[in-house]
Amino acid sequence: RYFIDWKNDVDSYFTIDATEGTIATNELLDRESTAQYNFSIIASKVSNPLLTSKVNVIINVLDVNEFPPEISVPYETSVCENAKPGQVIQTVTAADKDLAPAGQKFSFRLSAEASNKPNFTVHDYRNNTAGIETRRNGYSRRQQELYFLPLVIEDSSYPVQSSTNTMTIRVCRCDSDGTILSCNVEAIFLPVGLSTGALIAILLCIVILLVIVVLYVALRRQKKKDTLMTSKEDIRDNVIHYDDEGGGEEDTQAFDIGALRNPKVIEDNKIRRDIKPDTLRFPRQRQAVEDNTDIRDFINQRLQENDVDPTAPPYDSLATYVYEGNGSVAESLSSIDSLTTEADQDYDYLSDWGPRFKILADMFGEEESYNPDKVT
């Protein structure tokens, strides 16, 4: 029988067939993490397990090209505005995560879409480095400040792996010797003679002008809104209020509120009840009053006549009065409730009402008790 002599966790990457002695992988292997494995195999006799032997096994993991090459370090590439064609502005190198064998080679080239643009080119030096060169005479920051250059890098292992790396190239202002002076936003304004302080002052003036314009527009809108509100209030007051002293309830008949709301609906023949009408008054035919008619019936009859008469005074001028003496101790002295004949009258009770009614008691009492000479 065959066994693996387990000494550490690394031995778990492999297994062995107990009968055949075939060694197989038990997990995925990664040459970049462990390039070689070393463990022991024990063989024992089936009929006598005490008879054993041990042998060391060394397994070397072969490399497979699984990672593409990339630019070794990030570059900050710049080009001068006064650059000449064919000038090298950057030298680049590549790196590969695979443990490349001796003689590993990298090749550099531009992508297909960048090859047609006459801005920059790549010169492969065939020693795993390349240079970025200019292809035009001068670059303008006003037209374009940044250029993006796609660079393709390939290795020489099997299978071939490649990657596309985008490089950023910034246009800067340089002196005649090619020394970079400035690459920031301020450099765009420097040729016209503007300094940093002048640029800040211009920006502050622009901000102040914007604030003034916003405040002016806000004040104009507020003033316009107040004017509209005042105008609306004036119109409403003109409809509701009028300078004319009214006459109480008669005023509701003198002024027709319906005419104010809808001037088209006005009664042409409406008679005002607060003034005397201009129409001619014809003498009314009144019924004759009999001598024995009760005064209450007489008043009711006249009231009905005035109610149906359109030329009569307004209703407010008619008042209803209670009988005279209501609430008095002597009650009413009116003849309305008197008896029909004087013989039925009895005024002896007047002497019981006190000194105030003494004269009346003497006048309407017994005839023999009344003496006109004694009345003062």
Number of Cβ within 10 Å of residue 98's Cβ equals 18
Q: Which residue has the higher pLDDT, 323 or 85?
A: 85
Is residue 254 pLDDT above 80, yes or no? no
pLDDT score at 125: 94
For residues 133 and 118, the answer to whether their CB atoms sit within 8 Å is: no
In angstroms, the first-to-last Cα distance of the chain is: 172
Band the pLDDT of 217: cuts 50, 70, 90. Answer: very high
**DSSP per residue, 233-294:** HHHHHHHH--S----THHHHHHS-HHHHH-TT---TTPPPSSS--SSPPPPP-PPPPPTT--
Please, which residues have CB within 8 angstroms of residue 376's CB and are 6 or more apart in sequence? none
Q: Of 65-74, 171-180, 284-293, which gets the smallest average pLDDT?
A: 284-293
Going 272 to 273 to 278 to 281, the CA torsion angle's sign is: positive
Q: Of 14-18, 216-220, 292-296, which gets the smallest average pLDDT?
A: 292-296
Pairing relationship of beta strands 2-5 and 36-44 according to DSSP bridges? antiparallel
* CA distance linking residue 75 with residue 72, whole number of Å: 9
Q: What is the mean pLDDT of residues 244-255?
A: 54
CA distances from 91 to 116, 145, 154 (A): 21, 21, 17
Phi, then psi, of 337 in degrees rounded to 5: -95, 15
Band the pLDDT of 245: cuts 50, 70, 90. Answer: low
pLDDT score at 352: 80
Over residues 25-73, the pLDDT tens digits come to 988 888 878 889 998 999 999 998 889 999 999 999 888 888 899 998 8
Please, which residues have CB within 8 angstroms of residue 343's CB and are 6 or more apart in sequence? none
Is residue 365 pLDDT above 90, yes or no? no
Average per-residue pLDDT for the chain: 76
Over residues 179-215, the pLDDT tens digits come to 888 886 554 444 445 567 788 899 999 999 999 999 9
Distance of CA 93 to the CA centre of its chain: 55
Is residue 142 pLDDT above 50, yes or no? yes
For residues 230 and 236, the answer to whether their CB atoms sit within 8 Å is: no
Is residue 322 pLDDT above 60, yes or no? no
Band the pLDDT of 24: cuts 50, 70, 90. Answer: very high
Q: Which residue has the higher pLDDT, 56 or 338?
A: 56
Place of tokens 């000449």: 84
Q: What is the mean pLDDT of residues 247-251?
A: 53
Which two structure tokens, joined as six digits, stand for 84? 């000449």
Q: What is the mean pLDDT of residues 135-155?
A: 91
pLDDT score at 106: 92
Distance of CA 269 to the CA centre of its chain: 59
Is residue 248 pLDDT above 80, yes or no? no
* CA distance linking residue 17 with residue 15, whole number of Å: 7
**DSSP per residue, 72-129:** SS---EEEETT--TT-EEEEEEEE-SS-PPTT--EEEEE-HHHHTSTTEEEEE-SSSE
Place of tokens 């374009």: 144
* CA distance linking residue 374 with residue 376, whole number of Å: 6
- Radius of gyration, alpha carbons of the chain: 64
pLDDT score at 169: 93
Band the pLDDT of 237: cuts 50, 70, 90. Answer: very low
Is residue 88 pLDDT above 90, yes or no? yes
* Structural domains in the chain plus CATH codes: 2-60 (no CATH), 70-182 (2.60.40.60)
pLDDT score at 236: 47
**Does pTM top 0.85 for this prediction?**
no
Over residues 260-270, the pLDDT tens digits come to 555 454 444 44
pLDDT score at 300: 86
